Chain A
Amino acid sequence: MNTQLLKTMNEQLLSLDRTYGADALAADFIQALRATLEQYTGETSQSALQSGLVEMYHLLLSSRPRMANLIDDLRKVLLHTKRDANFSLASIQAELQRLFERKRERRQESVAHAKSLLDQSHTILLHSYSSTLNILLKEIATSHPTDPPKIILAGQEPHKTERMIALLQKHDLPYRVVSEFAISHVLEEVDLALFGGLSLTNEMQLIMGPGSASLISQLEAAEIPRYVLLTTNKFSYWEENTAPSFTELREKKTPTATYMKQVFSHDVLPIAQLTGIISEKGVHTPTESQELFTTLRATFLQEEQEIAPLSSGAPQ
């Protein structure tokens, strides 16, 4: 495996996820794949294409944290090359377009399920930005033109908070920002809290944005409903040997001191701490989520078995 390529790809994926959110990254991933296939000048025989895609698949599997939805997309592409004996660059492009459209459908379906919950809430606590949230807020604003729910935005890193503010202003929803470390002061106002998530692991742990875990713990103690928006293609079925979140030390400078700050890429918490997951298939309690996970994992394992020969270089 090309370690330099792995490192670079991993850094790019993390940077996009951190800066623009998981949904944007998923869309960027597909678009980047499409652009890649358009610009590709190497060998375009079926074996060469498969080999290149398999290499990328292994790179994605080796990235940390594992981005299950991206791996799922690439697996679908590999399945296409396995199932269609006449596959070509053009057919792969068509498959990618189909996957892109399916993403949109999943988001719409998730939004419909989330809206049914939010319609009953007067004050909603929001934490994580996502394009699904953008659609959800638009739906809320449209269906509650005169009496929209109030939004309390848990303020985090400035660029993330600013993006959330842009969304709320765009949809003309009343909001105020409270720093995530001060949320305990406003808990009694909150009817429901909504978070974004990166992935649900085999160990039934949610990988979420930094800061989510402490907020959720407070909400749990106050018995306030707390949900995470997570489509099923973000379920991560692999056995994890390494920590899903990573940490690094960054040098920070102030006028009077230079110090090292430890930062973490993600928070990891058991799904049991949440009231439920909102996916394109509905709203699921932790127990229901586990059942759904098990069902979908069986499909995943079948698909993995189907594409396994591609990795071994066996004739297709």
Chain B
Amino acid sequence: MMSQIFVVAVFVSIFIGILLDKVDKTLLAAAGAMILVLSGALPFEAAIHAIDFDTIGLLLGMMVFVEGLTAVGVFRWFSLQLGLITKGNPLIIFLLVSLSTAFLSAFLDNVTTVLILAPLMISLTQGIGLPPKIFLLSVIFMSNIGGAATMIGDPPNILIGSQVDSLGFVDFLQFMTAPVLVSMVLITLYLKFMKSDVIRSRNDNLGWLFTSNLMLSDIRHQAQSFVLPRATQIKAGFVFALVILGFLLHPVTHIEPPVVALTGGVLLLLLFHKEIDLHHLFGKVEWHTLLFFAGLFIVVGALEEVGVLEALSHVLVSLTSNTLTLILIVLWSSAILSALVDNIPFVAVMIPVLKDLLEQEPFASDPKSYLLWWALALGACFGGNGSIIGASANVVSVGIAQARGISISFLEFAKEALPITFITIVISSIYLILLYTI
């Protein structure tokens, strides 16, 4: 009992520490892990065993891959081309940049996506005298929505996909594409409708249209001086396609996703070894994020070791014996908690809880109980839109905006974000209900 209280106290302390944001979350997780190992709550070998190297490997592989693409200029080229295609039209800027964010988020991590597209959105909108906030917010919302579509699009999905053996890249595509696409469409229409005074073409006004074309001149100059060699485009595209194919063909090849990601990263570096400064690139890999995950796994491992998670799963079972009800509970609680606190620790805890729960009746014999995983994924990903602190991409984007003199307060964000989060969770609820009942 004492050991359970101690381990829970460490976990809750980490959670609160992340919320208060006075100490870096990586330090908190690492310190928590060390305390648990030093105190004997979790033996060192068990701690190492608790670290899910599938997740770490997948994250590391994708980080190296993305940094490699950044280093050879793929994303800068992409954002310049995107800027040109918008022709400075506010409506096209909104649609193209937002939807590109959603699409890219599905295959790159959300933070990388907003690092590429948030500055572009700000430059385009400020450059033509538009209020940038709602446009930037659309990028943030779409990064979290699009990221839910694949196993590699959002950390919660990476965690779930890596730790639940029965779920692979194809399964995520199969089950997550529909709610993500519907959410993308409805949220786009919602924003367009709510902000129609701003999100509209200005081609009927000579002055504003002229200003848009002036801004395009700047992008044109940049695009002309920044040429991505054809060979680079082909090599980068080839590796990108190979990685996606690797994920898709996992059921056939049985090559694990982290192996695919790491192979893609290394292959990219090999193909561009002359162009890329390796030391500089490895300096940009988010080692602190990997350490955060490792620390978190150890803490969650300790919670499992002392039986807290098993107890939690029993509590959930006692709440309801109806699978569909439980699915909706998991969905909505994931969303709410993801909005309020970092979704990664929450998902990290919920995975072993759900695994345990799925071995208990009546859920073990319910063929649709696997939907609990999708409820967790949808809730954690979409819930990240609920507040500024709900997802790392939100914090990063608001930071980028701040650096450009655009201030977005917690309440301002919440005012726009809560209806959107609510809409996406309702869509998810309807979707899961349909999947369960059909």
A binding-site residues for B, Cβ under 8 Å: 2, 4-5, 7-9, 12-13, 15-16, 19-20, 24, 28-29, 31-33, 35-36, 39-43, 49, 52-53, 55-56, 59
User: Could you show 19 A-B contacts with beta carbons less than 8 Å apart?
Assistant: A5-B207, A8-B127, A12-B127, A12-B214, A12-B218, A13-B214, A15-B218, A16-B217, A19-B218, A19-B221, A28-B214, A31-B213, A32-B213, A36-B209, A36-B213, A42-B204, A42-B205, A49-B206, A52-B207
| A9-B207 CB under 8 A given contacts A4-B129, A20-B221, A24-B221 | yes
Chain A, Cβ-Cβ closest to B209: A36
Chain A, Cβ-Cβ closest to B208: A5
Whether the pair A5, B221 counts as a contact (CB closer than 8 A) is no
Chain B residue numbers with a CB within 8 Å of A49 are: 206
B39 interface residue, CB < 8 Å from A? no
Considering the complex of A and B, which 4 residue pairs feature the smallest CB-CB distances, nearest first?
A8-B129, A52-B206, A42-B204, A32-B213
Chain A interface main SS type? helix
Q: Given A7, A19, A32, A40, which contacts B214 in the complex, CB threshold below 8 Å?
A: A32
Chain B residue numbers with a CB within 8 Å of A7 are: 129
B182 → A minimal CB distance (Å): 32
Whether the pair B127, A41 counts as a contact (CB closer than 8 A) is no
Chain A, Cβ-Cβ closest to B203: A41
Chain B residue numbers with a CB within 8 Å of A36 are: 206, 209-210, 213
Q: Given B127, B203, B214, B215, which contacts A42 in the complex, CB threshold below 8 Å?
A: B203
Chain A residue numbers with a CB within 8 Å of B205 are: 42, 52
Q: How far is the CA of A180 from the CA of B109 in the complex (A)?
A: 45
B216 interface residue, CB < 8 Å from A? yes
- B195-227 CB contact bits vs A (8 Å, 1 = yes)? 000000101111111110111111001000000
B87 interface residue, CB < 8 Å from A? yes
Whether the pair B129, A32 counts as a contact (CB closer than 8 A) is no
Whether the pair A12, B211 counts as a contact (CB closer than 8 A) is yes
Chain B, Cβ-Cβ closest to A33: B210
| A53-B206 CB under 8 A given contacts A19-B218, A20-B221 | yes
Q: How far is the CA of A54 from the CA of B243 in the complex (A)?
A: 56
User: Among residues 36 to 83 in chain B, which have CB atoms less than 8 Å away from a CB atom of chain A?
Assistant: none
Whether the pair A32, B207 counts as a contact (CB closer than 8 A) is no
Chain B residue numbers with a CB within 8 Å of A53 are: 206
Q: How far is the CA of A40 from the CA of B206 in the complex (A)?
A: 7
Chain B residue numbers with a CB within 8 Å of A12 are: 127, 211, 214-215, 218
B128 interface residue, CB < 8 Å from A? yes
- B244-268 CB contact bits vs A (8 Å, 1 = yes)? 0000000000000000000000000
A11 → B minimal CB distance (Å): 8
Q: How far is the CA of A12 from the CA of B128 in the complex (A)?
A: 8
Chain A, Cβ-Cβ closest to B215: A12
A309 → B minimal CB distance (Å): 20
Whether the pair A16, B218 counts as a contact (CB closer than 8 A) is yes
Whether the pair B218, A40 counts as a contact (CB closer than 8 A) is no
Q: How far is the CA of A53 from the CA of B213 in the complex (A)?
A: 15
Chain A residue numbers with a CB within 8 Å of B204 are: 40-43
Q: How far is the CA of A24 from the CA of B207 in the complex (A)?
A: 20
Chain A, Cβ-Cβ closest to B213: A32
Q: How far is the CA of A15 from the CA of B211 in the complex (A)?
A: 12
| A56-B206 CB under 8 A given contacts A16-B214, A28-B217 | yes
Q: How far is the CA of A209 from the CA of B400 in the complex (A)?
A: 30
Whether the pair B217, A56 counts as a contact (CB closer than 8 A) is no
Q: How far is the CA of A13 from the CA of B128 in the complex (A)?
A: 12
B403 → A minimal CB distance (Å): 11
Count of residues in B whose CB is under 8 Å from the partner chain: 21
A243 → B minimal CB distance (Å): 24
Q: How far is the CA of A59 from the CA of B87 in the complex (A)?
A: 22
Whether the pair A40, B209 counts as a contact (CB closer than 8 A) is yes
B91 → A minimal CB distance (Å): 12
User: Among residues 273 to 293 in chain B, which have CB atoms less than 8 Å away from a CB atom of chain A?
Assistant: none
New contact pairs (7) apart from A16-B214, A31-B213, A31-B217, CB-CB < 8 Å:
A8-B211, A12-B215, A16-B218, A19-B221, A40-B209, A43-B204, A52-B207
B197 → A minimal CB distance (Å): 13
Q: How far is the CA of A42 from the CA of B214 in the complex (A)?
A: 19
B216 → A minimal CB distance (Å): 7
A8 → B minimal CB distance (Å): 3
Chain A residue numbers with a CB within 8 Å of B127 are: 8, 12
Q: How far is the CA of A166 from the CA of B129 in the complex (A)?
A: 33
Chain A, Cβ-Cβ closest to B89: A39
Chain B, Cβ-Cβ closest to A24: B221
A278 → B minimal CB distance (Å): 26
Chain B, Cβ-Cβ closest to A12: B214
A7 → B minimal CB distance (Å): 7
Q: Given B201, B211, B216, B218, which contacts A9 in the complex, CB threshold below 8 Å?
A: B211
User: Among residues 174 to 206 in chain B, which have CB atoms less than 8 Å away from a CB atom of chain A?
Assistant: 201, 203-206
Q: How far is the CA of A252 from the CA of B203 in the complex (A)?
A: 38
Q: How far is the CA of A143 from the CA of B69 in the complex (A)?
A: 44
Q: How far is the CA of A160 from the CA of B205 in the complex (A)?
A: 34
Q: How far is the CA of A12 from the CA of B208 in the complex (A)?
A: 12
B189 → A minimal CB distance (Å): 23
Chain A residue numbers with a CB within 8 Å of B201 are: 41
B330 → A minimal CB distance (Å): 45
Q: How far is the CA of A20 from the CA of B87 in the complex (A)?
A: 20
Chain B, Cβ-Cβ closest to A9: B211
Chain A residue numbers with a CB within 8 Å of B216 are: 32, 35
Whether the pair A39, B221 counts as a contact (CB closer than 8 A) is no
Whether the pair A40, B203 counts as a contact (CB closer than 8 A) is yes
Chain B residue numbers with a CB within 8 Å of A33 are: 210, 213
Whether the pair B221, A9 counts as a contact (CB closer than 8 A) is no
Chain A residue numbers with a CB within 8 Å of B217 are: 16, 28, 31-32
Q: Given B207, B209, B213, B215, which contacts A59 in the complex, CB threshold below 8 Å?
A: B207
Whether the pair A2, B207 counts as a contact (CB closer than 8 A) is yes
Chain A, Cβ-Cβ closest to B214: A12
Q: How far is the CA of A43 from the CA of B218 in the complex (A)?
A: 28
Whether the pair A55, B207 counts as a contact (CB closer than 8 A) is yes
Whether the pair B203, A39 counts as a contact (CB closer than 8 A) is yes
Most buried by B among A8, A28, A52, A59: A8
B227 → A minimal CB distance (Å): 13
B244 → A minimal CB distance (Å): 36
Whether the pair A35, B213 counts as a contact (CB closer than 8 A) is yes
Q: How far is the CA of A31 from the CA of B217 in the complex (A)?
A: 8
Chain A residue numbers with a CB within 8 Å of B129 are: 4-5, 7-8
Whether the pair A56, B210 counts as a contact (CB closer than 8 A) is yes
A61 → B minimal CB distance (Å): 13
Q: How far is the CA of A19 from the CA of B219 in the complex (A)?
A: 12
Chain A, Cβ-Cβ closest to B128: A8
A89 → B minimal CB distance (Å): 11
Chain B residue numbers with a CB within 8 Å of A41 are: 201, 203-204
